[in-house]
Amino acid sequence: MIEGKPLAWFVGVAPGTFVPIYPVWLVGEEPDQHSFVVAFDVLMRDEFQPLTLDHPVDLAARRQYAMVMVRRRLHQPVFRRRVLTAYGSACALCNLRHENLLDAAHIKEDSDGGHPIVPNGVAMRAIHHRAFDGNVLGIRPDYVIEVRQDVLEEADGPTLRFTLQGVHATRLALPRQRAVRPDTDLLEERYERFMAAS
């Protein structure tokens, strides 16, 4: 608190399950109650009104909002539009055509030196995108989709069965124009990462 350094607050939501809230700052002390006052926004740290909670879980029930700063890739809206256009506004894995549920997934991420060009992107519904980023599914350089073996063996209901297990060993739907199809070198690099994580 004296040094003004941020902390992470782990709020218990169930036995053994916590949600991290970060960054937070200690802005006051209540020694008689053996507690501290927590601020959720560095800009409000000096003028913060204490948030009183009977229990930390009460935070989830409060309808309060804080302004936060996020880093956003400025090219993302243009990249998304170009990728979705190339794929006819359909998921390349399952053909879902609800554009508001589709993402433009990077094959090689910006942070790894990837460029925001269509051959570095694939139109995916959000769950496929998360699975791709989390190495739950991979795409081979020959455009065949693979799902991690432990996920294939799992029994968890229709969402898992149809959304993930159902795309295993199928081929990616490709754009008509060859010039905008996924770069096979980038797919190979990404597939090696998927295999290493499996």
pLDDT digit of tens for each residue in the chain (198 aa)? 888 888 888 877 667 877 787 788 888 888 888 888 887 664 444 444 444 445 555 555 555 565 666 666 666 788 898 899 999 999 999 999 999 999 999 999 988 999 999 999 999 999 999 999 999 999 999 999 999 999 999 999 999 999 999 999 999 999 999 999 999 999 999 999 999 998
CA distance 142 to 160: 24
Same domain, 189 and 101: yes
Alpha carbon 85 to chain centroid distance? 22
Assess if residue 66 is contained within a domain: no
pLDDT score, position 51: 47
Assess if residue 192 is contained within a domain: yes
pLDDT score, position 44: 46
Same domain, 53 and 25: yes
CA distance 161 to 101: 19
Assess if residue 69 is contained within a domain: no
This model's pTM is above 0.75:
no
The sign of the torsion formed by the CA atoms of 105, 92, 169, 186 equals negative
Same domain, 182 and 84: yes
pLDDT score, position 8: 87
Assess if residue 68 is contained within a domain: no
Assess if residue 2 is contained within a domain: no
pLDDT score, position 1: 82
Same domain, 105 and 192: yes
Same domain, 94 and 141: yes
Same domain, 47 and 113: no
Same domain, 91 and 115: yes
pLDDT score, position 9: 82
CA distance 9 to 157: 34
> Domain range holding 26?
7-61
Same domain, 49 and 130: no
Assess if residue 90 is contained within a domain: yes
Same domain, 108 and 192: yes
Assess if residue 43 is contained within a domain: yes
Assess if residue 41 is contained within a domain: yes
pLDDT score, position 12: 73
Element (H, E) at 11: strand 7-14
Nearest residue to 59 via CA among 33, 24, 7: 24
pLDDT score, position 36: 82
* Overall domain count for the chain: 2
Same domain, 86 and 50: no
User: Tokens 């879980």 belong to which residue?
Assistant: 57
